[in-house]
Every structure is written in structure tokens, then in C-alpha cells.
Amino acid sequence: AGGTGDIANRVADRLKGRAEITVCDINLSMLKEGRRRAPRAPVRWLAGDASQLPFPDRAFDAYTIAFGMRNVTHIGRALSEAHRVLKPGGRFLCLEFFNVDTPVLDTLYDLYSFRVMPLLAWRARVL
């Protein structure tokens, strides 16, 4: 669920050609929009399903997904696929929000999500 490549393009800007970056998404319109937004980005755009990735085993050093896991029908299969395509020692990075229905934990989750995370993001931009 690489979508329009917002995260991939930021990583590409940061790494300045030191890595190959692939955006994979099931939605062709999202991929098309990503190409339109960043036509010169050093990114490979590929259609594929997170629960059946079109990549060989151990193909990637990192697998990122931001706000896409919520759109995956079979989360368990998608996680297994992420594990399959990662090299040994590879990193899985998932940024997502979910509803928490457990009393007390829901309060802590909201506090962290809406107070702590924005503060950390603000501090990271300042540094």
C-alpha cells in the first residue's frame, strides 16, 4: 500500500540515490498520481497486492507502510508477505492508527497519539 509514494519520495530525497526504492500498491490510480506528483523521483512504481507481493523472497532491506494496513483485507497474510520479502535483519516500519476499545488503554493511546507524537514531530523538525 505505497499509495502515491509520499513516504517513498521523502526517503528518496533523504538517501539521494544510495538505495533502490519501489512503491507497490493495488490501486493503479494511486500509482498514476504518484508518478504525476514526482515524475523525476528515483522510484520504481509497481502494481501489486500486499497479501501476495510480486517480489522474490529476501528482496528488500526495508518494508514501509504508512496508513495503508487499514486498507488490507487479510492483514495476517500481508504481514507474512512483508516478512517473506525482507532480507534477514531487514526492517519493517508500519505507521498506522487504530481504534482502541480497552478502557484506560484507549485514553493512553489517545494521549500518545494526539499529544506526545505531535510534540515529537515538532521537536524533530526543529532539530
CB atoms within 10 A of CB 50: 24
Helices (H) and strands (E) in the chain, counts: 5, 4
| Contact assessment for residue 51 and residue 79, using Cβ atoms and an 8 Å cutoff | no
What DSSP string describes 93-106? EEE------STTHH
Pairing of strands 60-66, 86-95: parallel
Task: Return per-residue pLDDT of the chain as tens, 127 residues.
Answer: 899 999 899 889 888 889 899 999 999 999 999 999 988 889 999 999 999 999 999 999 999 999 899 899 999 999 999 999 999 999 999 988 878 889 999 999 889 988 998 888 887 775 5
Cα radius of gyration rounded to whole Å, the chain: 16
| Contact assessment for residue 30 and residue 8, using Cβ atoms and an 8 Å cutoff | no
Residue 96: predicted pLDDT? 87
Distance in angstroms (rounded) separating the CA atoms of residues 35 and 44: 9
Q: CA–CA distance from 112 to each of 21, 103, 120 (Å)? A: 31, 15, 10
| Contact assessment for residue 81 and residue 52, using Cβ atoms and an 8 Å cutoff | yes
| Contact assessment for residue 23 and residue 5, using Cβ atoms and an 8 Å cutoff | yes
Residue 126: predicted pLDDT? 58
